[in-house]
Amino acid sequence: MLTVKDEGYHPNRRLKEAAMARGFSLALIDPRKVTAGIDKGRLRIGGLPGGQLPGVILPRQGSQISNASIVVLAHLQVAGIPMVNALASVLTAKNKFATLQVLAANGVRVPDSIFVNSDEAFFRAVETLGGYPMVCKKTSGRKGREVFLAENPISAQEIINAHLDSGGDGLILQRFIPPGNGRRDFRVMVIGGTVAAAMQMTVPEGDFRSNFGLSGSSRPAVLAEAAKETAIQCARATGLGIAGVDLIETDTNGIFAIEANYAPGFKGLEMATGLDIATMIIDFAATFLSRNKSRTG
């Protein structure tokens, strides 16, 4: 598992427990300690735990994966090591706007969104999207921490000053879907093209974002077939074998896909549903490895 976190981090601990229970060995690979080399035209990899090539890789660094880690991930992939999820899917999912592009191109309904990289483009996009309030997101982020609400031109300028750098990653502006009034926020875990679990997330009092990391509150959800199909479409469009898909459903406007995560946390899902998500992930990785071996030989 490619991760900069240690065994005390909840997903790492749970996945290691699940692997051991299934009789597998799960090594945590810190990409900062791995060397990727080319020696006389041959790929070399150093710094792996035990000096052994893994049978399958689980990339688990999330949206803020660094370019250096991507180099390591690419090196492992071209070395022929199977990955759940593959590099192309990781690169799509790590960027929220790239994810929206792929989803929309594949017929998945997403909120009206505009990517901006200058003050002028920001205010023009606000007008195009129908005015304030306006959701502003960084292209990468976790636990809702890089999502802001511009309620007027003054707060918009504050967001621009703090987070918009023309030489940086830009911002995503989205039409605001206010909490309440029949809005429901879901996190759906899709594993191997099937909905494995779903929870409904709570918007904290005085906030507009729904995220388990912010509220610490969730409950199991029984999804309508349309929501299930949307989540599965998101995973399929992004090529993710394991995906944490965020959906918003409203009584008046139906279902919107918000994002698809390639390394989703699942503490809230396990708490809400009582399901063993960690074992589901390990079982899928083991099946993926077995199928890959069958294809190659």
Residue 183: its pLDDT value, please?
Answer: 86
Residues 160, 238, single domain; the answer is no
pLDDT > 80? residue 63 = no
| Confidence label for 142 from pLDDT (cuts 50, 70 and 90) | low
Residue 159 and residue 121 in contact, taking contact as beta carbons nearer than 8 Å: no
Q: What is the CATH number of the domain that holds 84?
A: 3.40.50.20
Q: What is the CATH number of the domain that holds 243?
A: 3.30.470.20
| 280 contact partners, CB below 8 Å, separation of at least 6 | 189, 191, 196, 197
Residues 44, 80, single domain; the answer is yes
Residues 240, 266, single domain; the answer is yes
| pTM, entire model | 0.91
Residue 65: its pLDDT value, please?
Answer: 85
- Number of compact structural domains in the chain: 3
Residues 184, 153, single domain; the answer is no
| Any domain includes 104 | no
SS (H, E, C) the chain: CECCCCCCCHHHHHHHHHHHHCCCCCCCECHHHCEEEEECCEEEEECCHHHCCCCCECECCCCCCCHHHHHHHHHHHHCCCCECCCHHHHHHHCCHHHHHHHHHHCCCCCCCEEEECCHHHHHHHHHHCCCCCEEEEECCCCCCCCEEEECCHHHHHHHHHHHCCCCCCCEEEEECCCCCCCCEEEEEEEECCEEEEEEEECCCCCCCCCCHHHHCCEEECCCCHHHHHHHHHHHHHHCCCEEEEEEEEECCCEEEEEEEECCCCCHHHHHHHCCCHHHHHHHHHHHHHHHHHHHHC
Residue 214: its pLDDT value, please?
Answer: 47
Residues 187, 265, single domain; the answer is yes
pLDDT > 60? residue 86 = yes
Q: Provide the mean pLDDT of the chain.
A: 90
Of the residues 157, 175, 193, which one is the last residue of a structural domain? 175
Q: What is the mean pLDDT of the segment spanning 126-148?
A: 87
Residues 208, 260, single domain; the answer is yes
| Any domain includes 16 | yes
**pLDDT tens digit sequence for 11-61:** 999 999 999 999 999 999 999 999 999 999 999 999 998 888 889 999 998
Residues 204, 256, single domain; the answer is yes
| Confidence label for 252 from pLDDT (cuts 50, 70 and 90) | confident
Of the residues 125, 143, 175, which one is the last residue of a structural domain? 175
| Any domain includes 107 | no
| Any domain includes 1 | no
Residue 295: its pLDDT value, please?
Answer: 59
| Any domain includes 35 | yes
**Range in 59-63, 132-136, 172-176 with the lowest mean pLDDT:** 59-63
Of the residues 144, 160, 175, which one is the last residue of a structural domain? 175
**Range in 89-93, 105-109, 180-184 with the lowest mean pLDDT:** 180-184
Structural domain boundaries enclosing 160: 113-175
**% of the chain residues with pLDDT over 90:** 75
Provide the β-strand partners of residue 45: 36
**pLDDT tens digit sequence for 186-232:** 999 999 999 999 999 877 666 666 655 544 567 899 899 999 999 99
Residues 185, 263, single domain; the answer is yes
Residue 207: its pLDDT value, please?
Answer: 61
